[in-house]
Structure 1
């Protein structure tokens, strides 16, 4: 997770980010989305990573909502209840534990984070990592943590 640590460190000299539950949650979510073994680690169905997240939303009947985050159009909003429905206990519990917050708090934060996070990880409307990696993680994290947002 060295790349994520260095990006978070560059955003706030590490200290502030290390104590910020939202930053820890974003870091954990990015790790989950970029890991191909995330589904296996939690006993989830299908592959891990972004595909696993999409499968989880599809399994909860929310596939069309999650697909809006990948496409080039408007991202549909997701509620904390929908995040809890899609991620269930496994992924949500792990993310909450990594951030040091309750699963309900994690679901609330993720409802605001996931649409932009998935959108930024899929800049060309495809649910796979581009050959050069996942692009400008520093810009992405800065926006999600309250920095300048692109219009």
Structure 2
């Protein structure tokens, strides 16, 4: 797929994610859209779906090859998909990310920030925190 078309389809992908349109996301992925291509600000599709709690879309992106631990760099959308989902207590999204290999102990900010468990506990989102703990997340230990 040429660069211009990839960019156009990538914009459509982000629109579908924001609208919670799993069918459109599936169609775009089948058409060859890169599931890891960040938008102009650096936000990744998986981060956008995770922060919005779109578990079905998260599953589609992961199945299409999105890496579960890739850190997003968008303005106001920095961090890992797992931290984004945990922050808002999106338990089903956290479950999908973990099922596809997300590391429950990867901290944001290139290893210097909060962990998913820190975010879930701070929420407070006890169900999400329990899921992360069951998946091997260590106790909350926020960096100073």
When normalised by structure 1's length, the TM-score is 0.26
Higher relative contact order structure (alpha carbons within 8 Å, sequence separation ≥ 6) = 1
- Give the number of the structure whose residues are more often strand, by fraction: 2
When normalised by structure 2's length, the TM-score is 0.27
